[in-house]
Amino acid sequence: MNVAVLTGIAFVLVLGVAAGAARPRRVSGVHVAARGVPPWWNGAAISSEFTSAAACLGTAGLIATHGSPMLWYPMGAAAGFVVILALVVAPLRRSGAYTLPDFAEWRLRSARLRRLTTCCVLVVGLAFMVAELHAAGVVVRLLTGLPPWLGPAAVAAAVLAVAVGGGLGSVTSAQAAQFWLKLVVFLGVGIVCWWLAEEGAVAWFEGAYRGGGAGLAGAGDPSLPGVLAVLLACALGTMGLPHVIMRVHTDRDGHAARRSMVATQAMLAAFCVVPPLYGLMGHARLRGAAADEIVLLLPARLFPGAADEELTGLLATEAFAAFLATAAGVLAAVGGALSARASKAGARSFRVAVVAVLAAALGLTAVTAPGASVALVLLGLSLSAATFCPLLVLGIWWRRLTDAGAAAGILLGGGSTAVLVIGEQTGVRMGPLTSCPAPVAVPVAFAAMVLISLAAPARTPRDVGRMMARMHLPEHLAGPLTYRSSSRDDR
């Protein structure tokens, strides 16, 4: 049993709980961190929850096993945040809606659409959480020999303490601290391994190795259409991720929200150089290993002995920081979406929702086989791209959108994604563009929203002009902002 690994895991779990120990006094501290997070700190928190197990372990493993086309994968997040910055962040912040269901109900005046959007938020959030919990089990089994269920149990206990203790305010503090820990450890160990490794890794870069086939949601497809399809899912899916959208409202105003996204892009750019570093070394030294295990096994292959144990312990620390940051952010976002309608219970309803979501994630983790973390994250991004992306873009920029059009687009976009993914997994081969469903499902969702909205213009909200002015005029021109949380003590 690796003592360094257990020490590192224990350290990061205690650090995460300690960093998020503050308990809010108001509902705003639970849902939106009291709207007082500085942009650079908020950017670190967003970057932390986005650099998940997929970014830390899975992407490096795909680069090692499938070759140089996978080097484009880290760029998907960067493209996604550019889209958010250009189209979404400031208008959504000015709307005053805390969550995606809040925005859907406010913009289109439909409680039914709110419930449909809440269901989609739950599905996307569970995909991300199950990916993190499975990856935690892989780390514990591979590096300590202990039962794999201890990994998800440890992560679940830590994120529950952080989220229940202080909501999004506590989660933000924990995530921001963990981002710098992840960056320093992941980059530092990678540089040490690269510097001391023998020749062989760089030579591979001249001729890409293409091994294996595409997995769930197109993960690992090295063909040009497959890579472009994944990049599209990442770029459009990022703008609708519940744990990213909720971050918009932790800033003071639209200008601060834009600054947070710029800070996020800079921090992600620094982090995106790391997975290729491990991927190149993993390809040279660990061909045939599972993608999620390559980064963790690399120190043992390069430096057997005491150095191996210390470096592996540091990587385990970094990996659990990634699990904790992403799982906590997703849990707070989904719990906030589920509980925002409870006007009387306030923070208590949020905590009940958090416990219920975490129990569902643990149940799904127990009944599903461990899979590649990248594939589950790509599935969540594909669903987000086909449902929330059209809702946000059209809801913010097209005044004629109706509740019927939005509901039809969400159902057809999400349904197309489900049909294509299930078909691919059951052996129905439909080509590289359908192995990752975003290029098909996203246009279907946009077309459905536009056509059905045009067919029923009477369903357009009567006060749409006022809502559009609220979103697009600067705060000092639009007047005082009314926050549209359903919790009365936070208005």
H helices of 197-253, in order, are 201-204, 224-238, 242-245
Q: How far is CA 103 from the centre of its chain?
A: 19
Task: Give residue-wise pLDDT tens across range 273-323.
Answer: 888 888 888 887 787 777 788 888 888 888 776 677 888 888 888 888 888
Which of 40-54, 253-267, 436-450 reaches the highest mean pLDDT? 436-450
Q: Give 350 or 414, the one with higher predicted confidence.
A: 414
The answer to the question of residue 427 being in a domain is no
The answer to the question of residue 155 being in a domain is yes
Residue 383: closest CA among 234, 196, 203: 234
Q: Give 313 or 218, the one with higher predicted confidence.
A: 313
Q: Which domain holds residue 305?
A: 3-374
Which of 28-32, 33-37, 93-97, 440-444 reaches the highest mean pLDDT? 440-444
The answer to the question of residue 421 being in a domain is no
pLDDT confidence bin for 415, thresholds 50/70/90 = very high
CA distance 69 to 411: 32
Q: Give 324 or 209, the one with higher predicted confidence.
A: 324
pTM of the model: 0.86
The answer to the question of residue 404 being in a domain is no
Token readout for 338 is 């589920």
The answer to the question of residue 50 being in a domain is yes
- Please say if the pLDDT value at position 342 is more than 50: no
The answer to the question of residue 399 being in a domain is no
- Please say if the pLDDT value at position 169 is more than 80: no
The answer to the question of residue 433 being in a domain is no
For the chain, percent of residues with pLDDT exceeding 90: 23
The whole-chain average pLDDT of the chain stands at 80
Q: Give 290 or 475, the one with higher predicted confidence.
A: 290
Q: Are 376 and 130 in contact (CB under 8 A)?
A: yes
The answer to the question of residue 415 being in a domain is no
Q: Are 374 and 142 in contact (CB under 8 A)?
A: no
Per the structure, the count of domains in the chain is 1
DSSP string, 139-171: HHHHHH-S-TTHHHHHHHHHHHHHHHHHHHHHH
Residue 104: CATH number of its domain: 1.20.1730.10
